[in-house]
Amino acid sequence: MFAEKPLAPGVAEAARIVAAAKESRRPVMVDFEFPELPTWRRAKALLDDGALGPLRHVVVTWQVENYATLHRLRTWKTSSEGGGGALGNLVSHCFHYLEYFCGPIESLSARLFGLPGEERPSESTVALAGAFASGAGLSLAMSAASYLGSGHRLEIYGEDGTLALANPTADYMRGFELRFARRPAAALERLDIAYPEQDRYPDSRIAPIARLVARFLDAIEQGTTPSPGIREGYRVQHLIEMARLAHDLGETVTVDDA
């Protein structure tokens, strides 16, 4: 099964999907695309090599205006009722790549917002704060209601260095640059990373999805477990649930294992 994210409207439904997947013994892959971009893979290699040293804190800012919000569409992308909204549709990607880069998230606080004055509230903006198990801090500000927004930026700060992945455009995948520096550098330096296959397609999502599909087909042929798979999908579903709980309670919640 090649699944969209999030897996389901809620954790209970996602757990049933996980159980069915285990019973079937068939490969499951979940469509988390950002780590397939070469700039992101290079950032992962830098982190795995310890180039930043112990992490201090991580900052995500993602400010765009998506089609559904612009046209006031009532779809799962704007409503939390079907597992969507900004949290399920977009921050689900953030939860995945944050743990992919930085390890388990240990605690979360959250505030979720819609557009002012709506008769039927949507969910277009998310503000999160939290901590990783390593002790590093986390802050995230994401909105799908930002006209001419600043784009998508991930900053990771460590004891010995800093890296930033930034895309100032409204395109979800095309436009990311990686900048990196280690002490005692005075400024971040842009790293040149080729990505010729992305230029073949008008839709920038095709190239990273093609990478995922290739691994998925290999897993089917070889009987192996692909990644990102059902485990990562369920973990993200759990983090979504914890963020909603933190919003409802108005307090920081501890994220247990899932």
Q: Of 1, 38, 4, 45, which Cα lies nearest the Cα of 22?
A: 1
**How sure is the predictor about 221, in pLDDT bands with cuts at 50, 70 and 90?**
very high
pTM for this predicted structure: 0.95
Exposed, middle or buried by CB within 10 Å (0-12, 13-18, 19+), for 89?
A: buried
Map out the domains of the chain as residue ranges: 2-247
Q: Kindly report, residue by residue over 141-156, the tens digit of the pLDDT.
A: 999 999 999 999 999 9
* For residues 95-107, average pLDDT: 99
Q: Of 159, 173, 152, 106, which Cα lies nearest the Cα of 133?
A: 106
Distance between CA 76 and CA 258 in Å, rounded?
24
Q: Look up residue 157 and give its amino acid.
A: Y
* For residues 51-72, average pLDDT: 95
Q: Kindly report, residue by residue over 117-127, the tens digit of the pLDDT.
A: 876 667 899 99
CATH of region 2-247, choose from 3.40.50.1110, 3.30.360.10, 1.20.1600.10, 2.60.40.60: 3.30.360.10
Q: Is the pLDDT of residue 43 over 70?
A: yes
Torsion of CA 49, 228, 15, 6, to 10 degrees: 110
Grouping H, G, I as helix, E, B as strand and the rest as coil, residue 247 is helix
Q: Is the pLDDT of residue 197 over 90?
A: no
- Give the lowest-confidence range in 62-66, 73-77, 83-87, 243-247: 73-77
Q: Please report the pLDDT score of residue 149 as a whole number.
A: 96
Grouping H, G, I as helix, E, B as strand and the rest as coil, residue 130 is strand
H/E run at residue 254: strand 253-254
